[in-house]
């Protein structure tokens, strides 16, 4: 896999070659993008593509224009751009949108995209700001970077999940949906700020909510308070970095906002029953 970084905000991974095994499987990833939308990415989005693209707006907003319709694309929107489809994009005034994008192709994709039910669906599906959607993209990025020859095939499962999210769109009553949106926005904020964790008070403030109400609905929805959920995210990130990266234990500790490597080691041992070094050694024997 080849990669390039147009600027400091956007990272772009390309997969210029696809194995014969991937082609027999019938669905593969052509490109992945994540980050802030700049002029070059807007131009790329607007360019008629040879493969389909799913674009998820995490924050900020975009305007998408086809020959017939203009869409105001809000956070939580998932767009499906079909091969050859002409759509002009621009950022809303004063906004710097942040997006996740995956390009994909293959006979399985062609079959779905040309089915009557898919073709009748509009360009934009408001699935809501959902951690689960962001995790599908993160899984694709991770698999293409670390899973070797199996990466494409395994990543195709997350592509199908994203297509299902786009097809189904948002569900639920307005009041329930509002709570779900706020809880998932909080989850995404926590996930994006592992290197500088936000307190529950800071999360509530960013979301425009009262602290007590936010903490109550978060615990009711997730089954634990925000601080406990954040600990789980840091533990998951630590495990992933120990398994998949060559970073030192000290580098991982500071990346996840621990004051010292010793503090990180104590935290990790309390949660897993082994030190980071022991966990890394065990994971690499499997």
Question: Looking at residue 97, what is its pLDDT?
Answer: 86
Q: DSSP 3-state assignment of 37? A: coil
For 152-174, give one letter per residue: b (16+ CB within 10 A) or e.
bbebbebbebbbebbeeebeeee
pLDDT tens track of the chain, all 286 residues?
A: 444 333 334 455 555 468 999 999 999 999 888 888 777 777 777 776 788 999 999 988 888 887 667 888 888 999 998 887 778 888 887 778 889 999 999 999 999 888 766 765 678 888 888 899 999 999 998 888 776 778 899 999 999 999 999 988 744 444 577 788 889 989 999 999 998 999 998 898 787 777 888 898 899 999 999 999 999 999 999 999 999 999 999 999 999 999 999 999 999 999 999 999 999 999 887 6
DSSP E strands, the chain? 2-4, 10-14, 28-36, 52-59, 62-65, 70-73, 77-81, 88-91, 98-105, 124-126
Through-space distance between the first and last CA atoms of the chain, rounded to whole angstroms: 24
Question: Looking at residue 68, what is its pLDDT?
Answer: 63
- Quick: pLDDT tens for 3-21: 433 333 445 555 546 899 9
Cβ-based burial of 209 (10 A; exposed 0-12, middle 13-18, buried ≥19): middle
All structural domains of the chain, each given as residue ranges with its CATH number in brackets, are: 2-168 (2.60.120.280), 172-286 (1.10.10.60)
- Quick: pLDDT tens for 93-144: 777 888 999 999 999 999 988 876 676 567 888 888 889 999 999 999 888 8
């Amino acid at each position: 896999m080849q990669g390039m970084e147009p600027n400091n905000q956007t990272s772009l991974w390309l997969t210029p070659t696809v194995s014969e095994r991937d082609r027999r499987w019938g669905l593969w990833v052509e490109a992945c993008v994540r980050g802030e939308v700049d002029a070059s990415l807007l131009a790329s989005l607007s360019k008629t593509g040879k493969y389909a693209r799913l674009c998820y707006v995490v924050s900020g907003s975009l305007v998408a224009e086809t020959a017939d319709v203009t869409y105001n694309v809000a956070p939580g929107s998932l767009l499906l751009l079909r091969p050859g489809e002409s759509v002009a994009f621009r950022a809303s005034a004063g906004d710097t949108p942040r997006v996740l994008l995956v390009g994909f192709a293959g006979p399985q994709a062609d079959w779905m995209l040309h089915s009557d039910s898919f073709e009748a669906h509009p360009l934009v599906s408001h699935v809501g700001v959902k951690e689960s959607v962001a995790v599908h993209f993160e899984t694709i990025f991770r698999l293409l970077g670390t899973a070797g020859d199996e990466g494409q095939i395994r990543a195709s499962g997350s592509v199908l999940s994203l297509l299902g999210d786009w097809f189904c769109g948002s569900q639920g009553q307005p009041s329930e949906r509002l709570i779900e949106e706020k809880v998932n926005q909080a989850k995404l904020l926590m996930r994006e700020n592992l290197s500088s964790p936000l307190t529950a008070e800071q999360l509530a403030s960013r979301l425009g909510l009262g602290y007590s109400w936010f903490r109550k609905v978060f615990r009711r929805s997730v089954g634990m308070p925000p601080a406990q959920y954040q600990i789980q995210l840091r533990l998951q990130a630590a495990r992933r970095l120990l398994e998949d990266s060559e970073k030192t234990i000290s580098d991982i500790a500071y990346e996840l906002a621990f004051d010292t490597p010793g503090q990180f080691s104590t935290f990790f041992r309390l949660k897993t029953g082994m030190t980071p070094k022991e966990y890394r050694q065990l994971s690499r024997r499997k």
